[in-house]
């Protein structure tokens, strides 16, 4: 599920038709936290957690191969 799909699902669940997903830089994320009253050390920690959480995705995307499902596999979610 993509972030946009997750946002759409959340918007539908809470009745927020104007909810959108916007990808921002780590610096902008940190600045937004600070603007909303989050202390500097907590904003630093949140930014660090975000970087750690994103690391496996970046690693996988950098691999020189891809993983394709077996031709006989029927994905129950996509069906």
Token output for 23: 């990808």
- 67 sits in the region (left: phi over 0; alpha: psi -120 to 50; else beta) called beta
Q: For position 2, what pLDDT does the model report? A: 82
Neighbours of 12 (CB within 10 A): 11
Residue 36 contacts by C-beta under 8 Å, 6 or more apart in sequence? none
Of the ranges 1-5, 13-17, 46-50, 68-72, which one carries the lowest mean pLDDT score? Answer: 68-72
The structure's pTM equals 0.50
Question: pLDDT over 70 for what percent of the chain?
Answer: 77
Q: For position 42, what pLDDT does the model report? A: 94
Residue pLDDT, tens place only, 23-54: 888 899 899 999 999 999 999 998 888 777 77
Res 79 pLDDT > 60:
no
């Amino acid at each position: 599920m993509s972030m946009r799909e997750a946002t759409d699902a959340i918007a539908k669940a809470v009745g927020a038709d104007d909810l959108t997903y916007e990808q921002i830089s780590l610096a902008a994320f940190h600045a937004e936290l600070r603007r909303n009253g989050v202390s500097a050390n907590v904003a630093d920690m949140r930014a660090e957690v975000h970087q750690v959480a994103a690391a496996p995705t970046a690693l996988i995307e950098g691999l020189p191969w891809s993983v394709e499902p077996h031709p006989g596999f029927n994905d129950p979610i996509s069906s």
